Amino acid sequence: MYSFKNDYSEGAHPRILEALMKTNMEQTIGYGLDEYSGKAKELIQSLVGNTNANVHFLVGGTQTNQTALAAFLKPYQAAIAAETGHINVHETGAIEATGHKVVTAKTADGKLTPSLIKEVLEFHTDEHMVQPKLVYISNSTELGTVYSKDELEKLSDFCKEYDLYLYLDGARLGAALVSEKNDLTLKDIASLTDAFYIGGTKNGALFGEALVIIKEELKKDFRYMIKRHGGMFAKGRILGIQFLELFKDNLYYNLAEHADQMSMKLKEALQEKGYQFASDSYTNLQFPIMTNEEIARLEESFRFELIEKIDEDKSVIRLVTSFATTKEGVEEFIKKL
Amino acid sequence: MYSFKNDYSEGAHPRILEALMKTNMEQTIGYGLDEYSGKAKELIQSLVGNTNANVHFLVGGTQTNQTALAAFLKPYQAAIAAETGHINVHETGAIEATGHKVVTAKTADGKLTPSLIKEVLEFHTDEHMVQPKLVYISNSTELGTVYSKDELEKLSDFCKEYDLYLYLDGARLGAALVSEKNDLTLKDIASLTDAFYIGGTKNGALFGEALVIIKEELKKDFRYMIKRHGGMFAKGRILGIQFLELFKDNLYYNLAEHADQMSMKLKEALQEKGYQFASDSYTNLQFPIMTNEEIARLEESFRFELIEKIDEDKSVIRLVTSFATTKEGVEEFIKKL
Amino acid sequence: MYSFKNDYSEGAHPRILEALMKTNMEQTIGYGLDEYSGKAKELIQSLVGNTNANVHFLVGGTQTNQTALAAFLKPYQAAIAAETGHINVHETGAIEATGHKVVTAKTADGKLTPSLIKEVLEFHTDEHMVQPKLVYISNSTELGTVYSKDELEKLSDFCKEYDLYLYLDGARLGAALVSEKNDLTLKDIASLTDAFYIGGTKNGALFGEALVIIKEELKKDFRYMIKRHGGMFAKGRILGIQFLELFKDNLYYNLAEHADQMSMKLKEALQEKGYQFASDSYTNLQFPIMTNEEIARLEESFRFELIEKIDEDKSVIRLVTSFATTKEGVEEFIKKL
Amino acid sequence: MYSFKNDYSEGAHPRILEALMKTNMEQTIGYGLDEYSGKAKELIQSLVGNTNANVHFLVGGTQTNQTALAAFLKPYQAAIAAETGHINVHETGAIEATGHKVVTAKTADGKLTPSLIKEVLEFHTDEHMVQPKLVYISNSTELGTVYSKDELEKLSDFCKEYDLYLYLDGARLGAALVSEKNDLTLKDIASLTDAFYIGGTKNGALFGEALVIIKEELKKDFRYMIKRHGGMFAKGRILGIQFLELFKDNLYYNLAEHADQMSMKLKEALQEKGYQFASDSYTNLQFPIMTNEEIARLEESFRFELIEKIDEDKSVIRLVTSFATTKEGVEEFIKKL
């Protein structure tokens, strides 16, 4: 049964495993202080155009969000997120576990805007309420949408004006950066946000996320926070080696491009057949609306998530493609529509 | 420069990488609900002789301790540990980060005894103090020592009598179980403790720990806790596949045996040369006492940890061997003594 | 300037101070284990019709909510509250500070219903999301509304069916129980909820809330939680003496009745003058809608809260009456309308 | 049965209650923003000789310590305390509840010294361990001892040199400042520490502690922290009024003087009869060592704490005097020796 359930159904791109194999019996220092991790950090600093950026490799996305927000916020401060934001919905309270409220704004496309954030700020007036301090966005979003350069610039300006941190969850940053709707670069993101992470898990790594901290005041003692949250990886070089490989010969972008292309193929076929979509995505997630009957039929041959009931007859499903999605899988799905 | 710094200087045993390679492009469900993880859980249930045991795979030791203790303890309850216990010293307050105090007992060999625990209990008399509820031990300990079956039985009986949970940190369980001083089996441990983990990271896995929960009341909703603490691993099968391989053909024990043998070789050579030891270890850690001059000389050719100053002239160093330690490395070290 | 800002603008009812004066130099045991607190607990047990109820006296409302919810919930569990609920808006993240998410339902009148809760439950499907476990309601609500017996019974049945705890924040329970819309008794509340508190601070005490725990499994070791959260009051008898006095000769109800009568007097006058209300309250809070001009004029002579802008011209204000509100104050306000 | 169990067995000094009575029906703003609290803050600023000091009134000692340390420390930072320190032993893990480890030093007299702290710092070497950042001392200590000016200066210098905060728990600051061994003033303390509190509960107030924050970087947004920890007192003026009264006509010092005199009377009588002491206290706590037989006999007429067994025959008891201790009570005790 072919799976469009998520972008982590397979292992890693073969080059990742080969890189691990090649270096396997070398001795290195632990905890990310090895030479490979060092080189990978430098490479990422150069890719984001900021040699002062702090780069930390963590194992997964929730861990990265939790550790970063716990480090950046004072106890009484809150993160502002879209109601659909991963930290609000799908992290089992990992942010609250560190003592911070997530306050939310309703948004149809999963994206935040200055005016949505302003409403949140105006509601929080004094010390009887939490103090919103960090704006959490994801790119691409949980709905597959992407921020344009203009949108991110406006958010960035707004955050500076209101003394808010801007944090970008890049679990699917690859898929965003190669989307046909994208006009952002890694360098833009590094100059417009205070911290962000480059997702590996969902773009061909075995696992791993590269957190990039730009703002000076957020850098101090971050390794203490990683350890405190159980995220200090003993054989840290495994993360470094993977990111070195991902950013060699454009591999990271190529893998994301493949994922997006497979997704757009699905989208176009679905559009041709007249399906409506719950979100207009140009990345590796598609959200077609289908009758329960159609869904049941497709479930006989494919795995995917059921996202939301629209009414008694119709629901939204989510189709996810990845670096490993095969043309055959996509074509078979299209045939079965 | 050959390293005796720790047991995670290399990658993984080659069979581990091969197993990942072989299954790499298969599609599986995420988050440890895949078939490989399922089989690995069954295998471990059978190895520990308890088909009702709950098995969870986590990425690292601090993460496992943090998640388990946070799940097992009520907010006002504390863990009891040896002063040298990993959770007390080397986890950057990961247990306190979840709201729990670690209360300690002084012990020369890193091991707890009923009488040491009883003292702690007697000190904590009422609701103005934390309530000690869980006994944390490690086997082998941070000092390389191991619990005998008789010692563990006595601890287990005591904990039952005083309604305490007994938790065993098995980061180096392999090294303990094959030590010449050991008379415990996995089955013994499963029948004498309420929960424990089998360490993979320090015994030939790329990474990974298998937490085994025995006591019924500690099992409920544990996966929520894993996710809440950022430990839910997207490509969970990577953990399952590793543990399946580790427990095939006795690999886990063979790797630990190699580590212990290399360590005993060092110990014997050191003893012959008249060195004293800060701990009498029969596992993969050795703690010889050396003059600062000797240490300085050895540091020119080898990497190892400096543990503690004894006086102006002498210090304790720590030598760690692993599945990957070479005979040549050991012999070279002995030659340089 | 007369104040309708809140129900804690004055000290205590004189009988409260006299009771403290009379017992002032007696020696008692600390931390609420004294005879006065004992008697007050028994009195409350008898008033709520449950001699097995656990009664704890705490200093304030946020402290009570925080301590209770932290005690009742497992780390990954969440409270369900109305979006307007005190714990969601006005406690500076005190619940999140203990690691728990507050998930919310939108409701026009500040009250929760089974169907609103059911929606929340259906949204939370698995271990990637928090587990809603406790329903938090307030009576009277933050909007001055009250639950009818029928409504509370339906909530109670629903919570039992879905294995949820039902917790009632009674900061203004006095005002609710004497409202003309009320048909609940303390005994009803004790038989329909799992825990609730009887507010003293906002009904004539110097300070103090009486938490009543009904459900057996929530009682254990609660005093540890009080101390852990900094709420163990050294001279505990001060709380006991106050509650003994409050429930002597119906004082508690008489004070609340006065507050509600003053409020209804304001409401009727406002209605006569044609004002609309943001909430239809029959307790001691009124939410008239006024033009900014009217508000500015009234602010010259009275203190009250500005709650919310309706549009460019109109806003909602909040008028609060208390045990101490004078007829003269109310009449003066009416005159100035 | 006369009680020497603690210094909060009675209510308040009568002048405190009278002050509350006199102002009882005045309307004030809530949460400590009233005029009385304002005046009390100014008075304390002037008494400590620092008009920039931030003064906050809280209800109790554990609450004050918990809120202050949670505000001052970053998540991975720890407090250093004497093993006997209140935060380490008698707060049911209230500091750990906010995520911080308390690391301890052994000390016979309950006092910390630079060399004890230095040992702790040297043990904590890197990000695998917590980062000690705040030195917690109490004056008088839990053993009744006091810091001399010279000792506090040395601690202060050391803390500045090592970039540590110095925090003084003044639950019994009155008893310390009037002790015959004291040479410190409030102004000294304010110039030598970064924050400290002046205890009211144990020196004649109904309840209440005045936290004084000196160091600029610790002041920001502290009221958010008070609210977050459930310590924002609705009728805040009750705290302000009490502290205004306590520092009128030297009342605070007079009350403490009485307590210390009663204590010294006990000490001298005990010394005359040849008793040994577990601590050489010149404040309101005495720790005589007695045979179990003597203790049993005294317990027939008096209440006091049994602190610690010395051996099979002897134990340490604790006698506490207060503003309210009567000469008759003391003389009766002496007669019964």
- How do residues A262-282 score in pLDDT, each as one tens digit? 999 999 999 999 999 999 999
CA pair distance B259, B266, nearest whole angstrom:
11
Taking CA–CA distances from D223, the nearest residue in chain C reads C92
**Per-residue pLDDT tens digits for B247-306:** 999 999 999 999 999 999 999 999 999 999 999 999 999 999 999 999 999 999 999 999
Nearest-Cα distance to chain A for C9, in Å, is: 17
| pLDDT at site A66 | 98
| pLDDT at site A103 | 98
Q: Do residue D20 and residue D100 come from a single domain? A: yes
Nearest-Cα distance to chain C for B157, in Å, is: 24
Strands D131-138 vs D165-169: parallel, antiparallel or unpaired: parallel
CA-nearest of D293, D201, D305, D241 to D38 is: D241
| pLDDT at site C21 | 98
Q: Give me the residues paired with residue D54 across strands.
A: D213
Q: Residue A176, exposed/middle/buried by CB under 10 A (0-12, 13-18, 19+)? A: buried
DSSP B56: E
CA-nearest of B157, B14, B167 to B78 is: B167
Assess: ipTM above 0.95: yes
Q: Give me the residues paired with residue A78 across strands.
A: A132
CA pair distance D73, D67, nearest whole angstrom:
10
| pLDDT at site A325 | 98
Domain total for chain D?
A: 2
D64 with D211: CB under 8 angstroms? yes
Domain boundary at A190, A211, A246, which?
A246
Q: Do residue B85 and residue B186 come from a single domain? A: yes
Selected residue of C18, C26, C58, C229 to mutate for chain D interface (largest D Cβ count, 10 A): C229
Q: Do residue C169 and residue C110 come from a single domain? A: yes
**Per-residue pLDDT tens digits for D25-53:** 999 999 999 999 999 999 999 999 999 99
Q: Do residue B129 and residue B37 come from a single domain? A: yes
Taking CA–CA distances from C230, the nearest residue in chain D reads D63
CA pair distance A205, A17, nearest whole angstrom:
9
CA pair distance A173, B234, nearest whole angstrom:
17
> Do D27 and C91 make contact, defined as CB atoms within 8 angstroms?
no
HSE, side-chain direction, 13 A CA sphere, residue C5: 17
Q: Do residue B68 and residue B183 come from a single domain? A: yes
Domain boundary at C246, C270, C294, which?
C246
Residue A124 phi, psi dihedral angles, 5° rounding: -100, 100
Task: State the average pLDDT for chain A.
Answer: 98
* Cα D57-D61-D63 angle, rounded to 5 deg: 75
**Per-residue pLDDT tens digits for B77-135:** 999 999 999 999 999 999 999 999 999 999 999 999 999 999 999 999 999 999 999 99
pLDDT classification of A333: cutoffs 50, 70, 90: very high
Q: Does A123 touch chain D (CB under 8 A)?
A: no
* Distance, C-alpha B1 to centroid of its chain: 27
- Extract the residue ranges of chain C whose pLDDT is less than 50: none
Helix (H) or strand (E) holding A55: strand A54-58
Q: Do residue B242 and residue B259 come from a single domain? A: no
Please enumerate in sequence order all residues whose Cβ is within 8 A of that of D56, keeping only pairs 6 or more positions apart, or say none: D32, D210, D211, D213, D222, D223, D226
Q: Do residue B67 and residue B96 come from a single domain? A: yes
**Per-residue pLDDT tens digits for B145-157:** 999 999 999 999 9
> Do C230 and D5 make contact, defined as CB atoms within 8 angstroms?
no
Domain boundary at C218, C246, C274, which?
C246
Q: What is the 3-state secondary structure (H, E, C) of chain C?
A: CEECCCCCCCCCCHHHHHHHHHCCCCCCCCCCCCHHHHHHHHHHHHHCCCCCCEEEEECCHHHHHHHHHHHHCCCCEEEEEECCCHHHHCCCCCCHHHCCCEEEECCCCCCCCHHHHHHHHHHCCCCCCCEEEEEEEECCCCCCCCCCHHHHHHHHHHHHHCCCEEEEECCCHHHHHCCCCCCCCHHHHHHHCCEEEEECHHHCCCCCEEEEECCHHHCCCHHHHHHHCCCCCCCCHHHHHHHHHHCCCCHHHHHHHHHHHHHHHHHHHHHHCCCCECCCCCCCEECEEEEHHHHHHHHCCEECEEEEECCCCEEEEEEECCCCCCHHHHHHHHHHC
Taking CA–CA distances from B201, the nearest residue in chain A reads A234
CA-nearest of B95, B75, B128 to C67 is: B75
A97 with B228: CB under 8 angstroms? yes
DSSP D15: H
| pLDDT at site A169 | 98
**Per-residue pLDDT tens digits for A4-59:** 999 999 999 999 999 999 999 999 999 999 999 999 999 999 999 999 999 999 99
Which chain A positions have a beta carbon within 8 Å of D75's beta carbon?
Answer: 70-71, 98, 225, 228
Partner residue facing C129 (CB), from A89, A99, A127: A89
**Per-residue pLDDT tens digits for A220-253:** 999 999 999 999 999 999 999 999 999 999 999 9
Which chain B positions have a beta carbon within 8 Å of C76's beta carbon?
Answer: 221, 224-225, 227-228
Q: Do residue B225 and residue B273 come from a single domain? A: no
Q: Do residue C142 and residue C262 come from a single domain? A: no
Q: List the structure tokens of B198.
A: 């089998």
Helix (H) or strand (E) holding D271: helix D251-272
Q: List the structure tokens of D135.
A: 């030195």
D87 with D65: CB under 8 angstroms? yes
**Which residues form the domain of A276?**
2-7+252-336
Q: Does B228 touch chain C (CB under 8 A)?
A: yes
Nearest-Cα distance to chain A for D227, in Å, is: 6
Mean pLDDT of B220-227: 98
Mean pLDDT of D74-99: 98
First vs last C-alpha separation in chain D: 15
Nearest-Cα distance to chain D for A32, in Å, is: 12
CA-nearest of D118, D195, D187 to D149 is: D187
pLDDT classification of D283: cutoffs 50, 70, 90: very high
CA pair distance D264, D275, nearest whole angstrom:
14
Report the percentage of chain D scoring pLDDT > 90: 100
The b/e string for D205-236 (b: 16+ C-beta within 10 A; e otherwise) is bbbbbbbbbbeeebeeebbbbbbbbbbbbbbb
Q: Is C49 left (phi over 0), alpha (psi -120 to 50) or beta?
A: left
DSSP D282: -
Distances (CA, A) of C202 to C171, C258, D222: 7, 13, 25
> Do B228 and C131 make contact, defined as CB atoms within 8 angstroms?
no
> Do D130 and B92 make contact, defined as CB atoms within 8 angstroms?
yes
Distances (CA, A) of C23 to A267, B29, C26, C201: 78, 68, 6, 20
Nearest-Cα distance to chain A for B49, in Å, is: 29
User: What CATH number did the domain enclosing A270 receive?
Assistant: 3.90.1150.10
Partner residue facing C76 (CB), from B76, B127, B225: B225
Partner residue facing C233 (CB), from D21, D60, D238: D60
Angle between helices C114-123 and C149-161 (to 10 degrees): 30
Q: Does D120 touch chain B (CB under 8 A)?
A: no
CA pair distance C310, C288, nearest whole angstrom:
11
**Per-residue pLDDT tens digits for B40-83:** 999 999 999 999 999 999 999 999 999 999 999 999 999 999 99
Q: Does B123 touch chain C (CB under 8 A)?
A: no
Within chain D, strands assigned E span 2-3, 54-58, 77-82, 102-105, 131-138, 165-169, 195-199, 209-213, 285-286, 289-291, 302-303, 305-309, 314-320
Q: Residue C311, exposed/middle/buried by CB under 10 A (0-12, 13-18, 19+)? A: exposed
Q: Do residue D33 and residue D143 come from a single domain? A: yes
Query: Which residues 38-67 of chain A have a CB within 8 Å of chain B?
Result: 59-67
> Do A206 and B235 make contact, defined as CB atoms within 8 angstroms?
yes
**C330 residue type, one letter:** V
3-state DSSP assignment of residue B316: strand
Query: Which residues 72-101 of chain B have a CB within 8 Å of chain D?
Result: 75-76, 78, 89-93, 96-101
Which chain B positions have a beta carbon within 8 Å of D127's beta carbon?
Answer: 92
Taking CA–CA distances from D99, the nearest residue in chain A reads A98
Which chain A positions have a beta carbon within 8 Å of C93's beta carbon?
Answer: 76, 78, 99-101, 130
Q: Do residue C169 and residue C302 come from a single domain? A: no
Q: Residue A328, exposed/middle/buried by CB under 10 A (0-12, 13-18, 19+)? A: exposed
Selected residue of B73, B86, B89, B96 to mutate for chain D interface (largest D Cβ count, 10 A): B96
> Do D76 and A128 make contact, defined as CB atoms within 8 angstroms?
no
pLDDT classification of D334: cutoffs 50, 70, 90: very high
User: What CATH number did the domain enclosing D154 receive?
Assistant: 3.40.640.10
Q: Do residue A223 and residue A277 come from a single domain? A: no
Selected residue of C92, C202, C203 to mutate for chain D interface (largest D Cβ count, 10 A): C92
B280 with B140: CB under 8 angstroms? no
| pLDDT at site C233 | 98
> Do D238 and C206 make contact, defined as CB atoms within 8 angstroms?
yes
